[in-house]
Amino acid sequence: MSDVVVAGVGMTAWGKWGRRFVEYGVEAATEALADAGLDWPDVQFVAAGETVRNGYAGYVAASSIAQALGWSGAQLATAYGACASGTMAIDIARARILAGLCDVALVVGADTTPKGFLAPNAGDRPSDPDWLRFRLLGAANPVYFAFMARRRMDLYGATQEDFAAVKVKNSRHGRANPRARYRREVTVEEVLASPVVSDPLHLLDICATSDGGAALVLVSEAKARQLAGASPAVRLRGVASITPRYPNTVLELPNISADSSLVVAPPPRGYMDSIADAAYEQAGIGPDDIDVAEVYDLATAIELDWYEHLGFCAPGGAEKLLRDGETALGGRIPVNPSGGLACFGEAVPAQAIAQVGEITWQLQGRATGRQVSRARTGLTANKGLFGHGSAVVLST
């Protein structure tokens, strides 16, 4: 199968800037187009992650950004996959290029986020699982992260200092990233001194919400040869945008119950394992081939879960991998060299696109101040509520 090439990357600085989401999308898109050496009218297809409020579709995305850039008659699609929306948009654009329906696609995600907990919109909706988990249980998002963190503590001996060390590592990585919102190194003591939100997680263990935009220009191999830009071509080798397999016996946001294993045995590889498995299989590679990864650190402890599910170490081995410095810059498998959500905060439909943008820069040797040396192959991993798995494998 021929590959799809990332011809251009664009990204705003993350923060709370008070602008409209469309402006962030336009800023990212124009940077990506300039990076690719293309003009907006060259774009045949626009795929956007849907801009959302509180887990729900609130605004259109692809057409809003296309209108802001000047309506050009491009074909378009808007994808909603919660935190995985960006990967879904990438997947759609890639499929259209591989199908021969277009040669140049623009993928955009942009959002503005409210302060504080994400929560459902107002009004009684007792048939809605997202409403029910707040109303009946008070189970805001950090609860689900805290469940996984507590299991790591009781099963593997993880400590709150380990979780804080993830924040310390990522805050150190993000210091030199001009797009990061937080660019100050945080200490373990500061994390542990911050208020407990959902035990064992402190405020500084949990990512902030941010405004931001990210964009990619994806092109066919034929178009990439025409463009022949200054940077090495980075190829999309695998894109997973997948559901769990029944029975998914680990609690999935926003559900209040997992699937039953009474009649059907759980699959040998659980949901979080299967997300990267799907992208590895498409790429024909495995975890040993990965030089750098951007993973979804909504909370510090989740990053440790990812190390295991992505195959960087065996179950229960994540704390040692972290403590040994293997996932820091200079280690065997640097994770979140961008600074991750710890430094960016979350802008839901942009984040998965930003992850792919960072890996592209890493593979092109353009990640100044946070560059992973000799990175040839990279991975992104992410998961959106309602069962949206997301992983992308890229290589030069």
What is the largest distance, in Å, between two alpha-carbon atoms of the chain? 58
Binding pattern for the stretch 124-143 against another protein, x by CB under 8 A and - elsewhere: x-xx---xxxxxxxxxx--x
- Residue 240 Cβ vs another protein, minimum distance, rounded to whole Å: 19
Nearer to another protein, 140 or 356 (CB): 140
φ/ψ of 148, rounded to 5, equals -65, -35
Point out which span in 4-12, 123-131, 280-288, 341-349 binds another protein (CB under 8 A): 123-131
Residue with tokens 């850039």: 69
Q: How far is it, in rounded angstroms, from Cα 120 to Cα 189?
A: 33
CB neighbourhood size of 255 (10 A)? 18
**What is the size of the binding site for another protein (CB under 8 A)?**
47
Binding pattern for the stretch 225-244 against another protein, x by CB under 8 A and - elsewhere: --------------------
Binding pattern for the stretch 271-310 against another protein, x by CB under 8 A and - elsewhere: ----------------------------------------
- What's the DSSP call for residue 215? E
- Residue 86 Cβ vs another protein, minimum distance, rounded to whole Å: 25
Q: Please answer whether residues 194 and 180 qualify as being in contact, where contact means their C-beta atoms are separated by less than 8 angstroms.
A: no
Nearer to another protein, 37 or 200 (CB): 200
Q: How far is it, in rounded angstroms, from Cα 368 to Cα 383?
A: 28
Q: How far is it, in rounded angstroms, from Cα 18 to Cα 23?
A: 10
Q: How far is it, in rounded angstroms, from Cα 33 to Cα 38?
A: 5
Point out which span in 65-73, 74-82, 258-266, 354-362 binds another protein (CB under 8 A): 258-266
- Residue 245 Cβ vs another protein, minimum distance, rounded to whole Å: 8
- Contact with another protein (CB under 8 A) among 84, 97, 146, 354: 146
Does residue 259 bind another protein (CB under 8 A)?
Answer: yes
Q: Please answer whether residues 269 and 310 qualify as being in contact, where contact means their C-beta atoms are separated by less than 8 angstroms.
A: no
CB neighbourhood size of 104 (10 A)? 22
The closest alpha carbon to 358, from 294, 263, 288, 304, belongs to 294
Which residues ranging from 178 to 207 are in contact with another protein (CB under 8 A)? Answer: 195-201
Point out which span in 261-269, 278-286, 350-358, 368-376 binds another protein (CB under 8 A): 261-269
- Contact with another protein (CB under 8 A) among 34, 101, 256, 314: 256
